[in-house]
Amino acid sequence: MTKAVLMDRDGVVTEDLGYVHKIKDFNLVQNAVEGLKLLKGFRLIFITNQSGIGRGYFKFEDFLDYNSRVVEELKKHGIKIEKTYVCPHAPEDNCGCRKPKTKMIKDAERDFKIDLSKSFVIGDKKIDVDMGHNSGCKSILVLTGNGMKEKENANADYIAKDLIDAAKWILKHGNQ
C-alpha cells in the first residue's frame, strides 16, 4: 500500500478565477511548487469538481487542455501528478463523484493501491475537507483560493497558510 496526497487543483495549486479553463488564465499559487517538492514520498493526485463543464460554461476538452498545461508545468519543476480525477457534473446532477462524495478518492485508492489511513487531502473548501474525512484521510484546508472564506466552517485536521505549510505538517504527521 502506498500513501498519497489527494488535492484540489484550483485555489490550491493554481489560481482560482472561477470556472478556470483558459490556458491564458493559468497561474500557479504562490509557494505551490515549493510545497509540492517537499512531498516526494507521496503519490500526488488531483481530485477536482469542474461543474463549469456540466453547466455548459466550457467543454471537457478545454478542461483537458488546461489541466495538461498545469501537469506539464509542474513536471518542469520535477513534480509528478499521477492522475487527475474530475467530476464534470453540475451540482444538481446529483452524481456519485461530486465532492464531498468519495467516488474519486475510492477510484484513486483502487488504481494506485493507496492506504487512505496514511494519506492526506488538501483543499481550499469545506467539501474537500469533508471528502477527506469521509474517505478516512487526514484533511488540510489551505488559506489560498477560497480557504479564508471557508475556514470557519471547515473541520480540518489542520489549517495551513499555503502548500509549504501543509507539506511541512504532512511530513511531521505522515507516519502516525
3-state secondary structure of 4: strand
Ramachandran quadrant class, 72 (left: phi over 0; alpha: psi -120 to 50; beta: rest): alpha
Provide the residue count of the chain: 176
3-state secondary structure of 114: strand
Residue 10 is a catalytic residue:
yes
Residue whose cell numbers read 492522475: 83
Point out the catalytic residue in the list 10, 128, 130, 162: 10
Residue 65 is a catalytic residue:
no
Point out the catalytic residue in the list 8, 16, 130, 162: 8
Reference 46, options 21, 76, 71; nearest CA is 71
**Catalytic center residues:** 8, 10
